A and B are shown apart, each in its own frame.
Chain A
Amino acid sequence: MKASPVFKSRSLPWLLLVPTLGILLVFLYFPVIQSFVLSLYRSNLFLGTQRFIGLENFRNIFSGTLAPGFRQVLLQTLLFSGVVVVSGLAVSLALALLANQPVRGARAYRLLLIWPFALSPAVAGTIFLFMFNPEVGFVNQLLNVLLGVKPRWLDTPALAFSIVCMAAVWKNLGYNIVFYLAALQNVPAELGEAAQIDGATGAQRFFAVTFPLLSPMTFFLFFTNLAYAFFDTFGLIDIVTAGGPVGAPPFDHAGVTSTMIYKIYQDGFGGAANLGFAAAESVVLLALVAGVTVLQFRFGGRRVYYGGA
């Protein structure tokens, strides 16, 4: 039998875990179980009714009148998350590298780069909404003078989707930059110098030395950004586009900037107040996020270099 090197008593570690488990139980496991149960009921938020209907909500998700809208939003969610995570990480890594240069006033640059993260989604959303108002917004006023064009940012599907992606990336830049800056300052300078002596170019040094050393941070940020794209962009979307505009076929069953979390809110707490259906959708979303996480740990996790042997 192996003696525990830290804890003398067997019960002490469990005792210390109690607060964490308690919080997880109350705020995570219990709501998840409730969603599962609710997804089997016909339930209206306003009426407070609950009637067991088995898997009918799930049937409605995958076939019938509501199915095309769900499929479209599912696809959009994957696209949106992909764009936000990949371009968000790429841009913030680039900016972090620049901010990490030993130049005069580097601290001021860093501060300014982190700034957007301190804005609430409501404020950030309102800024974008007014900037891109097609008739009186700052962007179109400028474009009209310079180029004589006034793009309809908020109801041209492709433009609206890009604006929301851009706003979502911008809003989370500060967060990513902070973590990348911290990671960059932990990259040993002598490795870069050694590569330089061996004749590596700047790009080679970055891709062969710096980037692999940053992989634990990239791996971590990938998940926090994925969670951000899936769940935390709600406020921004609500304010900038309210999930709209409806696209051209085949994207004409829902607003093109509606993501799963936005649709779940709309279905459960919006006009239809169909809680059971929304719960069923959230179960599907949970399965999706769980699936992505498993895939990432299985395939992505191998490439992460944590140092050591």
Chain B
Amino acid sequence: MKRLCFILACIALLSTVYAQTKIDFWYAFSDANRSGWIQERMDEFNAQLSAAGKPYMIVGERKGSYPETQQAAVLAARQGNPPHLVQLYEVGSQIAVDSGIFMPVIELGDFDTSDYIAPVLNYYTIGGKVNSIPFNSSSPIVYANKSLMDAAGVTAVPTTYNELLAACDAAAAAGVLTADVKCFGVSLNGWFVEQWVAEQGATLVNNDNGRSGRATEVLLTSDAVRNVFNWFKTLNDKGYYTYTGKLEDWDGSDAIFTNGKVLFHITSTADLVNITRAVGTSFELVTGMLPIVDGTERNGVVIGGASIWLVRDHPVEELTVARDFVLYMTNAENMVSWHKATGYYPVRNSSVDLLRAEGWFTEFPNASTAFDQLLGTIPSTATGGALMGTFQATRTIVEEALQKVLAGASVDAALAEAKKLADAALAEYNANF
């Protein structure tokens, strides 16, 4: 009898273990710093769930890069076995909406949007609906090597295109630039071109950046884009610019900067902590806002990074737990810790208040640069960010055009060809509807 009781107890125990419903969360980070942070939040939330006796468990899975994660999620949904939560990058927003597999978070019970920073919430509001839960938001800033700047007699981080050129001239005149040290080392990446178009208050695609209607034309021959390309051409012709030679080589360009091979670098604020660690004590790191085209107003930056989307085909109870997990992961305290661990924006106003109260921004001024830049952003269709189904393809086309210009092609010819290709891809995408 005792034995039977024991067996029954075991069965009961096992069945409670197996009765736990898994809530799948697919995300894109592969570095130990960021994925470790997410794992900790999942463990904490799972402990809360089991303490409350709820039969759910959040299970995370890394799915590679942003495009790969999106691909995996959409394909899984088509095969009838999707995760509950997916981290999608901003560029994929239009595709995510068009794919129809996601449920706007605003449609699931009450979703309190009052605490989110306006530019962040605006980006993820499509057709008047908040689609996804803001999580990791970023924008680019200048990273500068203060030690090399001092050697060149440059006192402030350049804030315009011409100031950066002048700083490079000064560095060249002072003999700081050698075969081994260049002036400027941003990675060749369409993201920065998009940011500079927004800074000039221009839109990247027609129909108000694709927000008043489906975009049908990519405005790559605009003055705004031409300004950016001409600047790169000048920098490159003078021998000031360097990159690894590979498109979107974030790590390679970071390595060039952290090894002290360039004065100035531009990359995401999300890399602030990783870059600060890599630089260590080898030189003094200072940051600055994105330089703008001379004679234009500083319109601000577009939100980059990613947000968390809910996949529609699941029971409401499971989706509610899934949403509650994301809300826990992105609550005020956790966003403070996330910001400190990485450099991503704390996307909640309450998190910003907490950081201010503890004097974080005065203690670590490099963290406030990106933040001031974001808060100074003028809300408009330009800084709201473009929507198009072929955003990633357009990015690659822009990068290849810029690479051609660096190899000696004319700016106008390269952009005309790029526009033709980007428009053709977009027309092909739109023909699916």
Do the beta carbons of B242 and A47 come within 8 Å of each other?
Answer: no
Do the beta carbons of B403 and A246 come within 8 Å of each other?
Answer: yes
Q: B389 contacts which chain A residues (CB < 8 A)?
A: 44, 46-47
The answer to whether the Cβ of A150 comes within 8 Å of any Cβ in the partner chain is yes
Bound CA–CA A49/B182 (angstroms): 48
The dominant DSSP class at the B interface is helix
Do the beta carbons of A242 and B99 come within 8 Å of each other?
Answer: no
- B67-83 vs A, CB cutoff 8 Å, 1 = contact: the mask equals 10011001100100000
Measured as residues with beta carbon below 8 angstroms from the partner, the interface class of chain B is 35 or more
- Which residues A10-66 have CB closer than 8 A to chain B? 42, 44-49, 51, 64-66
The answer to whether the Cβ of A199 comes within 8 Å of any Cβ in the partner chain is no
State whether A244 and B246 are in contact (beta carbons under 8 Å apart), knowing that A135-B256, A136-B256 are contacts in the complex. Answer: yes
Do the beta carbons of A46 and B420 come within 8 Å of each other?
Answer: no
The answer to whether the Cβ of B425 comes within 8 Å of any Cβ in the partner chain is yes
The answer to whether the Cβ of B432 comes within 8 Å of any Cβ in the partner chain is yes
Bound CA–CA A245/B424 (angstroms): 22
User: Shortest Cβ distance from B388 into chain A, in angstroms?
Assistant: 10
Do the beta carbons of B408 and A154 come within 8 Å of each other?
Answer: no
Chain A minimum-CB-distance residue to B260: A136
User: Shortest Cβ distance from B381 into chain A, in angstroms?
Assistant: 22
User: Shortest Cβ distance from A242 into chain B, in angstroms?
Assistant: 6
The answer to whether the Cβ of B375 comes within 8 Å of any Cβ in the partner chain is no
Chain B minimum-CB-distance residue to A51: B432
State whether A135 and B259 are in contact (beta carbons under 8 Å apart), knowing that A48-B78, A154-B245 are contacts in the complex. Answer: yes
Do the beta carbons of A274 and B431 come within 8 Å of each other?
Answer: no
Chain B minimum-CB-distance residue to A152: B245
State whether A144 and B180 are in contact (beta carbons under 8 Å apart), knowing that A135-B256, A136-B255 are contacts in the complex. Answer: yes
- A139-160 vs B, CB cutoff 8 Å, 1 = contact: the mask equals 0000010001010111111001
Do the beta carbons of B407 and A135 come within 8 Å of each other?
Answer: no
The answer to whether the Cβ of B226 comes within 8 Å of any Cβ in the partner chain is no
Bound CA–CA A66/B78 (angstroms): 29
Do the beta carbons of B245 and A160 come within 8 Å of each other?
Answer: yes
Q: A144 contacts which chain B residues (CB < 8 A)?
A: 179-180
Bound CA–CA A133/B242 (angstroms): 11
The answer to whether the Cβ of A273 comes within 8 Å of any Cβ in the partner chain is yes
* Contact of A270 (CB < 8 Å), options: B243, B261, B392: B392
Bound CA–CA A38/B78 (angstroms): 16
Do the beta carbons of A129 and B246 come within 8 Å of each other?
Answer: yes
Do the beta carbons of A65 and B261 come within 8 Å of each other?
Answer: no
Do the beta carbons of A274 and B428 come within 8 Å of each other?
Answer: yes
State whether A46 and B74 are in contact (beta carbons under 8 Å apart), knowing that A135-B244, A252-B409 are contacts in the complex. Answer: yes
Among B95, B244, B389, B407, chain A packs the most CB atoms within 10 A around the CB of: B244
- Which residues B182-205 have CB closer than 8 A to chain A? 182, 185
Do the beta carbons of B179 and A46 come within 8 Å of each other?
Answer: no
Q: B61 contacts which chain A residues (CB < 8 A)?
A: none
Q: B248 contacts which chain A residues (CB < 8 A)?
A: 242
Q: B180 contacts which chain A residues (CB < 8 A)?
A: 135, 144, 150
The dominant DSSP class at the A interface is loop
* Contact of B74 (CB < 8 Å), options: A45, A133, A156: A45
Do the beta carbons of A133 and B403 come within 8 Å of each other?
Answer: no
User: Shortest Cβ distance from A134 into chain B, in angstroms?
Assistant: 6
User: Shortest Cβ distance from A104 into chain B, in angstroms?
Assistant: 42
Bound CA–CA A93/B400 (angstroms): 39
Do the beta carbons of A271 and B244 come within 8 Å of each other?
Answer: no
- Which residues B155-202 have CB closer than 8 A to chain A? 179-180, 182, 185
State whether A244 and B179 are in contact (beta carbons under 8 Å apart), knowing that A46-B99, A135-B256 are contacts in the complex. Answer: no
* Contact of A245 (CB < 8 Å), options: B67, B70, B98, B403: B403
Bound CA–CA A2/B122 (angstroms): 81
The answer to whether the Cβ of B103 comes within 8 Å of any Cβ in the partner chain is no
User: Shortest Cβ distance from B282 into chain A, in angstroms?
Assistant: 13
- Which residues A220-242 have CB closer than 8 A to chain B? 240-242
Q: A154 contacts which chain B residues (CB < 8 A)?
A: 244-246
The answer to whether the Cβ of A88 comes within 8 Å of any Cβ in the partner chain is no
- Beyond A134-B244, A270-B392, 6 additional pairs, beta carbon < 8 A: A155-B243, A155-B403, A244-B246, A244-B247, A244-B403, A252-B409
Give me the 5 closest cross-chain CB pairs, A-B, nearest first: A154-B245, A271-B392, A271-B393, A155-B245, A272-B393
> Contact residues of B with A, CB < 8 Å?
67, 70-71, 74-75, 78, 95, 98-99, 179-180, 182, 185, 242-248, 252, 255-256, 259, 261-262, 389-396, 400, 403-404, 406-409, 420-421, 424-425, 428-429, 431-433
22 of the cross-chain contacts (CB-CB < 8 Å) are A44-B389, A45-B71, A46-B70, A47-B95, A48-B78, A49-B432, A65-B420, A66-B424, A129-B244, A129-B252, A135-B259, A155-B246, A241-B245, A241-B246, A246-B407, A247-B407, A266-B396, A270-B67, A271-B67, A272-B393, A274-B425, A274-B429
